[in-house]
């Protein structure tokens, strides 16, 4: 990758991050404060003990749930928002190459969701130590790896999915609705799908989860997320065609 491409990519990422925190009345700042308040302070205070830090909950919360939820709040705006504000044509008419525009937006969304999740996890750890003074409590190694690496992969999946939907949506509202419906389908589909399984099959799956090492489960989850992120990114890249986007945005 040449220095020019890196500079273009960095400029695009910086532009997007500034818009997250400056546009819409500082929407990104308000989201960050709410996230820190709820996930960094309130939930740890209600956890009850230091055992919460060693449980799988932090990985699930900060490594899977939070990055995706955060990204859904800003990802819908990535291309659909530019189209609504009539700035998409100007952006596409600039000297920036397609790769810098697409991956700049994708990585900015990823950094936003992942960074906010890491910060919330750090604040939660501080709150736990303040609440229960004594020996310093840290996340276990599996939780630390899960929060950092699974969180990054989950953020990439969310960023690729939101970019894909935003490319196809005519408005930000439509993109937000499509993403929300998709998330609900996944959540309820998984829940009711498990309930619809025969009792013996469901018992076998739960038994495997109970007996499988958490590291193995984490590696399998990471591999699944990495594959999903790659597939969604390739799909979104296939939709990103400068000429078509200019015609659709006009």
What is the DSSP-derived secondary structure letter of residue 234? Answer: H
Query: Structurally, how many domains does the chain consist of?
Result: 1
Per-residue model confidence (pLDDT) at position 25 = 43
> Which residue positions in the chain have pLDDT lower than 70?
1-3, 22-29, 48-49, 194, 202, 205-212, 214, 243-244, 246-250
Structural domain boundaries, residue 142: 3-249
pTM of the model: 0.85
Per-residue model confidence (pLDDT) at position 157 = 94
Distances (CA, A) of 201 to 30, 54, 176: 45, 29, 36
244 phi and psi, to 5 degrees?
-65, -40
Rounded-to-10 torsion of CA 29, 20, 76, 222: -80
Closest by CA to 112, choosing from 174, 22, 44, is 22
Per-residue model confidence (pLDDT) at position 140 = 83
Per-residue model confidence (pLDDT) at position 23 = 56
Tell me the pLDDT tens digit for each residue of 202-232: 677 666 665 667 677 788 888 999 999 999 9
First-to-last CA distance in the chain? 32
Per-residue model confidence (pLDDT) at position 250 = 45
């Amino acid at each position: 990758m040449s220095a020019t491409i890196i500079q273009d990519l960095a400029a695009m990422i910086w532009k997007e991050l500034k818009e997250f925190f400056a546009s819409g009345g500082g929407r990104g700042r308000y989201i960050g404060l709410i996230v820190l308040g709820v996930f960094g302070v309130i939930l740890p205070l209600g956890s009850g003990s230091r055992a919460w830090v060693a449980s799988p909950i932090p990985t699930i919360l900060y490594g899977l749930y939070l990055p995706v939820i955060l990204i859904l709040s800003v990802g819908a705006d990535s291309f659909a928002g530019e189209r609504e504000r009539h700035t998409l044509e100007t952006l596409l008419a600039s000297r920036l190459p397609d790769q810098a525009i697409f991956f700049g937006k994708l990585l900015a969304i990823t950094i936003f969701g992942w960074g906010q999740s890491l910060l919330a996890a750090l604040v939660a750890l501080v709150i736990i130590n303040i609440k229960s003074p004594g020996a310093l409590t840290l996340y276990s190694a599996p939780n630390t790896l899960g929060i950092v690496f699974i969180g990054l992969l989950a953020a990439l999946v969310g960023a690729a999915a939101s970019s894909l939907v935003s490319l196809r949506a005519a408005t930000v509202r439509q993109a937000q609705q499509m993403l929300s419906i998709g998330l609900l389908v996944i959540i309820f589909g998984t829940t009711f799908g498990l309930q619809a399984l025969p009792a013996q099959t469901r018992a076998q799956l739960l038994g495997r989860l109970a007996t499988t090492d958490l590291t193995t489960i984490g590696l399998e989850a990471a591999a699944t997320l990495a594959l999903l992120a790659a597939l969604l990114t390739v799909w979104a890249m296939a939709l990103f065609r400068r000429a078509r986007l200019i015609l659709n945005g006009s």
